[in-house]
Amino acid sequence: MSADLDALRGALLAWYARVRRDLPWRRTTDPYAILVSEVMLQQTQVARVVPRYVEWLERWPTAAALAAASRADVLAAWVGLGYNRRALALHAAAVAVAGDGWPADLRTLPGVGPYTAAAVGSFAFGAQVAAVDTNARRVAERLGHGPPAALLPPGRAADWNQAAMELGATVCTARAPRCDACPVARWCASAGRAAVAPRATPRRGGSERFEDTNRWVRGRVVAALAAGDGLPGDIAPERLERAVAGLVRDGLVRPVEGGFSLG
């Protein structure tokens, strides 16, 4: 088992070194830059994140720079990335870091959960911990060699975490795993018969249109206020009222004289 595990580790790390995507956050060990990337990548595709990540760091290159920005400016810069509360959590984390430095337990920062703490810890600080996102978890489950932490090569957690996530994102995917292209198929318990995640089925009578959701309305409101246009005028009043009330409750929008403003 130990020899197989060592061979598996070596094969995956060698594969990653050959084929890894050249993503900007992989070129740095700056914890702030890595935190920005991890927050942006939550439920957002890599292709959309790359240009926004570069723009963000050009505008706010340090935690102190972001901490000095207004909440309204941060929200406006976030438009199009979705889940705007992430922007406010990132801003709050920057305020905490600018004031007190990086904490020993990264989970004490606003908006930082176990995965993000492990990712920043391993990629920026060299912590020997498993960063288990959806892709890394799927890879570990299909390999069948124990939990993600058991697969970590001694002293190479950062490389392994990136490699496992890369494999899950590009080869060992949820619905179309390419076992014939997998560098570790030889040691995989699921090779050739990986369980495929079922596609979500719409609820009976439900709508799949994003434009019918409250989240879509919230996004329209934030984008309109960021552009200085006021509230959108083409949305049914009851939908608009519900969305604005939620945004105010979440601290994303505030009432001002004559209307509403971000943050």
pLDDT (0 to 100) of residue 163: 98
The verdict on residue 99 lying in a domain is yes
> Are residue 141 and residue 249 in the same domain, yes or no?
no
CB 194, CB 58: distance < 8 Å:
no
CA-nearest of 114, 119, 112, 63 to 91 is 63
Residue in this structure with the two tokens 């001002």, named with its chain if needed: 256
CA 241, distance to chain mean position in Å, is: 30
**Domain identity same for 22 and 91:** yes
Helix (H, G, I), strand (E, B) or coil at 118: helix
Question: Six-digit token pair at 63?
Answer: 């935690």
Catalytic residue among 38, 58, 238, 257: 38
pLDDT score at 196: 80
- Is residue 38 among the annotated active site residues? yes
d(CA 22, CA 252): 34
pLDDT at 237: 81
Position 153, amino acid: P
Long-range contacts formed by 57-63: CB under 8 A, 24+ apart: 57/33, 60/94, 62/32, 63/32, 63/93, 63/94, 63/97, 63/98
49 occurs within a structural domain: yes
Q: What range defines the domain where residue 46 resides?
A: 2-187
Nearest-angstrom CA–CA distance, 67 and 76: 15
Same domain assignment for residues 28 and 106: yes
Do 158 and 36 lie in one domain? The reply is: yes
pLDDT reported for residue 208: 56
Strands 259-262 and 253-256: antiparallel
Residue 193 domain-assigned? no
Residue 200, in any domain of the structure? no
Q: What is the predicted pLDDT for the residue at 250?
A: 82
What does the pLDDT read at residue 256? 84
CA distances from 128 to 2, 45, 47, 81 (A): 19, 27, 28, 30
Residues of the chain with pLDDT under 50: none
Tell me how many domains the chain contains. 2
On whether both 126 and 35 belong to a single domain, the answer is yes
Q: How far apart are CA 97 and CA 65, in angstroms?
A: 11
